[in-house]
Amino acid sequence: MLLASSKFDELRLDHLTRSFGALNALQDVSLTIRRSEFIALLGPSGCGKSTALNCIAGLLAATGGSIYLDDKRIDQLKPEDRGFGMVFQSYALFPHMSVRANIGFGLKMRGTPKAEIAKRVDEALALVRLEAHGHKLPGQLSGGQQQRVAIARAIVIEPPLVLMDEPLSNLDAKLRLEMRAEIRRIHNQLGATTIYVTHDQDEALSLADRIVVLREGRIRQVGSPRDLYESPDHLDVAEFMGFRN
Ligand code: ADP
Ligand code: MG
């Protein structure tokens, strides 16, 4: 049984900052994310969404602040020691490896016994509804199916946290809607704590329990989809959420 996110109560960003030379790509971001929450990091291109996600994943070092999982400070840990599941815009699958091998790769690297890998890959394939495609190569699948493989690969390691960076932006509009529903279904089924980066307001509104609006590296507003839609704190948030005066 996949039991993602059963391992901690909260992830806390404490004045998280990342600069590139004079540019503060992320500035003083403080935020507490509770277990099983689905959080959308929302904002226009260049506002710091990927920077935030990559700092949380450990792919990018923060230049200030800290990150905690409960009482444990994790921002000095290597990405593999944080063990978060990642899904990117580009599926980043190994083209020469079968779907099953792609999904099981992380478990194999951790030295998980073969029989256990097979069992967990089966469960992950069922969860993303690709039972019939395990033997195929990624190139034989549609874009939507490849992104399902990427999702299965991220969750099969039972990560405490799933990080997704614009996972649907390479898909056409119809598939995007379909996959949006899939992602929410998988979240409901697993209860995996998820941080989902998007520039798409509709996506954030329909997927997230809470939305964090970023602007120029800072948090502009945090709230439920309803809060943000009905009572945006700032004119720019209102405009960004789709209101026009
Ligand atoms: P988003 O994901 O919201 O589009 P990013 O986090 O990628 O935004 O980028 C935030 C800001 O930081 C942008 O101004 C971007 O140009 C800058 N930036 C991101 N990565 C680098 C880097 N490796 N070197 C220099 N500037 C960067
Ligand atoms: Mg980005």
CA of 21 to the centre of ligand 1 (A): 12
Task: List pLDDT tens digits, range 50-72.
Answer: 999 999 999 999 999 999 999 99
**Residues in contact with 116: Cβ distance below 8 Å, sequence separation at least 6, in sequence order:** 107
* Euclidean distance between CA atoms 164 and 169, whole angstroms: 11
Q: How far apart are CA 206 and CA 158, in angstroms?
A: 25
Question: Average pLDDT for residues 32-56, to the nearest whole number?
Answer: 97
Beta carbon of 41 within 6 Å of any ligand 1 atom? no
Q: Is the pLDDT of residue 243 over 90?
A: no
pLDDT band at 217 (very low <50, low <70, confident <90, very high): very high
Tell me which residue has its CA closest to atom 6 in ligand 1.
48
What's the pLDDT score for residue 236?
84
Ligand index nearest the alpha carbon of residue 24: 1
What single DSSP character describes residue 99?
A: H
Q: Position 72: which residue type?
A: K
Q: Please write the tens of the pLDDT for every residue from 77-132.
A: 999 889 899 998 888 899 999 999 999 999 999 899 999 999 999 999 999 999 99
Tell me the residue type at 48.
Answer: G
Whether ipTM exceeds 0.90 = yes
Pocket lining: 187 vs ligand 1, CB cutoff 6 Å: no
Model confidence at 199: pLDDT above 90: yes
Residue 229: predicted pLDDT: 86
Residue with CA closest to ligand 1 atom 27:
20
Q: Is the pLDDT of residue 19 over 80?
A: yes
Instruction: Specify the 3-state DSSP secondary structure of 172.
Output: coil
Residues 6+ apart with CB under 8 A from 78: 58
Q: Is the CB of 125 under 6 A from ligand 1?
A: no
H-run or E-run covering 177: helix 173-190
Select from 20, 60, 165, 196 the residue to mutate for testing ligand 1; criterion: most ligand atoms less than 8 Å from CB.
20
Cα dihedral 15/164/109/12 (nearest 10): 20
187 Ramachandran zone, left/alpha/beta (phi>0; psi -120 to 50): alpha
Confidence check: pLDDT of 179 > 50: yes
Q: What is the mean pLDDT of the chain?
A: 92
**pTM to 2 decimals?**
0.93
Query: Helix, strand or coil for residue 216?
Result: coil
H/E element holding 24? strand 23-34
**Separation of alpha carbons 165 and 100, rounded Å:** 23
Q: What is the pLDDT confidence band of residue 234, given thresholds at 50, 70 and 90? A: confident
For ligand 2, an ion, list residues with CB under 5 A: 50
Per-residue pLDDT, 1 = 41
Residue 186 contacts residue 129 (beta carbons within 8 Å): no
Report percent pLDDT > 90 for the chain.
74
| Cα 221 from Cα 204, distance rounded (Å) | 13
Token pair of 50 as six digits: 């990927």
DSSP designation for 139: G
Distance between CA 165 and CA 89 in Å, rounded?
Answer: 6
Count the residues in the chain.
245
